[in-house]
């Protein structure tokens, strides 16, 4: 399998940054109507920088966006209940159904 080109890897990174910014904004905002307005503002910010082709200017934009994301990161982000770290993660795990003691492995012990 070949490695993705720079443009493809860059596109994946930008999508990841966009999604992380939206998710972080959703962690801060409970009401979806308010969040939608903030999501549109984030999208407008990304669209305004869509045609930047200078690598140095692009690196500066990405560095600024990452710094802003780190600064605004929610201290207690929402975790879906069934995912690791969620409130229901491994709450009712099934019991171990194997033997408590393997008598065949130690025949002379009993």
104 within a domain of the structure (yes/no): no
Looking at residue 54, what is its pLDDT?
A: 85
17 within a domain of the structure (yes/no): yes
Residue-wise pLDDT tens digits, 65-106: 999 999 999 998 888 888 888 888 877 777 777 767 777 777
Closest-CA residue to 13 (of 72, 90, 66, 80) = 66
Estimate to the nearest angstrom the gap between the alpha carbon of 44 and the chain centroid: 22
Specify the range with the lowest mean pLDDT, choosing from 5-9, 26-30, 74-78: 5-9
47 within a domain of the structure (yes/no): yes
Work out how many domains the chain is built from and give that number: 1
Dihedral over Cα of 58, 59, 64, 66: its sign: positive
User: What is the span of the domain harbouring residue 38?
Assistant: 6-71
């Amino acid at each position: 399998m070949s490695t993705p080109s720079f443009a493809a890897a860059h596109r994946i990174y930008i999508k990841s940054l966009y999604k992380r910014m939206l998710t972080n904004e959703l962690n801060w905002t409970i009401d979806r109507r308010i969040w939608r307005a903030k999501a549109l503002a984030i999208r407008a910010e990304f669209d305004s920088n869509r045609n930047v082709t200078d690598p140095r200017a692009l690196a500066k934009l990405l560095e600024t966006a990452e710094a802003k994301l780190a600064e605004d990161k929610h201290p207690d982000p929402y975790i879906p209940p069934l995912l690791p770290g969620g409130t229901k993660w491994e709450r009712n795990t099934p019991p171990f159904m194997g033997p408590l003691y393997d008598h065949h492995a130690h025949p002379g012990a009993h």
